[in-house]
């Protein structure tokens, strides 16, 4: 079973070929970051138009890298949502057209299902069931994953996503969009404990998150002052410590509540070095295991979509030409 996967939900155009026997055969990605940078964030219409420009060459390259022809492809998988509707429609339209031309099924994949399956691309993949922490630019969720398509949301953010909090605080620190990785790099030079930010929602029971107060706390710490780089690094470190500690504590609680022994981390913030180190300690204390995708598969990519498509096709879940795209789509509602 060989699947061509297409991801176009936001500012990355990505294509990959995944084979259930050969594994990941190729993956290509074009990032629009430079195009959006002058605006300080993603401009949806520019994103959609650029996906139109990039998709066809990327598909050609991914097929060539995988030494695959359209005849050798058994199906197509594309991100059907959630995301920017115009950007999603480009991928959905493109995959549906190829599906008609090649006479192969096309499957619409939930973007977050792609993220939470991404650790299965690695050499030591987790078995089902597991607990997943999804930490991306748009979502922060703890998910009980019973099997493919069987997802129960245990907790989620009540306001900003963890990645969004990184991006907004990075902006306050004068760092370019997207700020998460840049803030983490700045925090490497900062000292812990110089600025102590709140650990939101840790003082109450439950598995929900709230990150919008952290950016306000950063604003207060900076107070519009032009601080020297070493102090800005201390602020970045204080912010990162607060996010990492909050996520780690909620994971510890969720492992306790569910009894799961496997924890999967997925989404862009999962690339954060300090978060990875902290969660490794948490699972070690609980006699559990943690699974991360490699950093390039934490952020948006085509490999996770091709893999999800391959797993679904393998279970006989075929697509429909009416699938289309959805800007909003609950992960708990996707089913099998
Ligand atoms: O999963 P993703 O690529 O896109 C969405 O589906 O949202 O996640 C992007 C998010 C951005 O907010 C970005 O700032 C954040 O992941 N991010 C990081 C790091 N690398 C990316 N946040 C913290 N530390 C990092 N190293
Ligand atoms: Zn994503």
Ligand 1 centre distance from Cα of residue 268 (Å): 3
**Ligand 1 nearest atom to the CA of residue 167, by list position:** 14
pLDDT of residue 265: 97
* Model confidence, pTM: 0.95
pLDDT of residue 125: 97
pLDDT of residue 104: 95
What lies within 8 Å, CB to CB, of 52 at 6+ separation is 90
pLDDT of residue 226: 77
Spell out where 267-327 has E strands: 289-291
Ligand 2 centre distance from Cα of residue 193 (Å): 31
Q: Residue 203's Cα: distance from chain center in Å?
A: 27
Tell me the domain boundaries of the chain: 2-117+299-333, 127-292
| 178 Cβ below 6 A of ligand 1 | yes
| 184 Cβ below 6 A of ligand 1 | yes
With pLDDT > 90 as the criterion, what percentage of the chain qualifies? 89
| 267 Cβ below 6 A of ligand 1 | yes
| 271 Cβ below 6 A of ligand 1 | yes
The CB density around residue 32, as the number of other CB atoms within 10 Å, is 20
For the chain, which residues score pLDDT lower than 50?
none
| 173 Cβ below 6 A of ligand 1 | no
| 269 Cβ below 6 A of ligand 1 | yes
| 272 Cβ below 6 A of ligand 1 | yes
**Ligand 1 nearest atom to the CA of residue 112, by list position:** 6
Ligand 1 probe mutation, 44, 166, 172, 295, most atoms within 8 A of CB: 166
State the Cα–Cα distance between residues 181 and 126, nearest whole angstrom. Answer: 26
Residue 114: nearest ligand to its CA? 2
Residue 247, SS3 per DSSP = helix
| 182 Cβ below 6 A of ligand 1 | no
Question: What CATH code would you report for 2-117+299-333?
Answer: 3.30.420.40
pLDDT of residue 321: 62
State the Cα–Cα distance between residues 271 and 291, nearest whole angstrom. Answer: 12
What lies within 8 Å, CB to CB, of 234 at 6+ separation is 190, 191, 194, 195
DSSP state of 157: B
Q: Which fold has domain 127-292?
A: Nucleotidyltransferase; domain 5 (3.30.420)
State the Cα–Cα distance between residues 230 and 189, nearest whole angstrom. Answer: 7
CB 179 within 8 A of CB 169: yes
């Amino acid at each position: 079973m060989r699947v061509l996967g297409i991801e176009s939900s936001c500012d990355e155009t990505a294509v990959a070929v995944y084979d259930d026997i050969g594994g990941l055969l190729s993956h290509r990605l074009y990032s629009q970051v430079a195009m959006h940078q002058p605006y300080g964030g993603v401009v949806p219409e520019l994103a959609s138009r650029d996906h139109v420009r990039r998709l066809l060459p990327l598909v050609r390259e991914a097929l060539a890298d995988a030494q695959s022809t359209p005849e050798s492809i058994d199906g197509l998988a594309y991100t059907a949502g959630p995301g920017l509707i115009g950007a999603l429609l480009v991928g959905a339209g493109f995959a549906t057209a190829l599906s008609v031309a090649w006479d192969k099924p096309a499957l619409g994949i939930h973007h977050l299902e792609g993220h939470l399956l991404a650790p299965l691309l690695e050499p030591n993949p987790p078995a089902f069931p597991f607990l997943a922490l999804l930490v991306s630019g748009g979502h922060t969720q703890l998910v009980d994953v019973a099997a493919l398509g069987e997802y129960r949301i245990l907790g989620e953010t009540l306001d900003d996503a963890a990645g969004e909090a990184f991006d907004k605080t990075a902006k306050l620190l004068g760092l370019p969009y997207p700020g998460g990785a840049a803030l983490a790099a700045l925090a490497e030079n900062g000292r812990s404990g110089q600025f102590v930010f709140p650990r939101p929602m840790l003082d109450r029971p439950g598995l929900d998150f709230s990150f919008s107060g952290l950016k306000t706390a950063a604003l207060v710490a900076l107070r519009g002052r032009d601080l020297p780089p070493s102090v800005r690094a201390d602020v970045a470190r204080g912010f990162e410590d607060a996010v990492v500690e909050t996520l780690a504590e909620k994971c510890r609680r969720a492992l306790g509540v569910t009894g799961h022994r496997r924890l999967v981390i997925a989404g862009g913030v999962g690339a954060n070095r300090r978060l990875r180190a902290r969660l490794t300690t948490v699972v070690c204390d609980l006699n559990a295991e943690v699974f991360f995708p490699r950093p390039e598969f934490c952020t948006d990519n085509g490999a996770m979509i091709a893999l999800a498509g391959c797993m679904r096709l393998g279970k006989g879940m075929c697509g429909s030409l009416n699938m289309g795209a959805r800007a909003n789509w609950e992960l708990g509602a996707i089913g099998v």
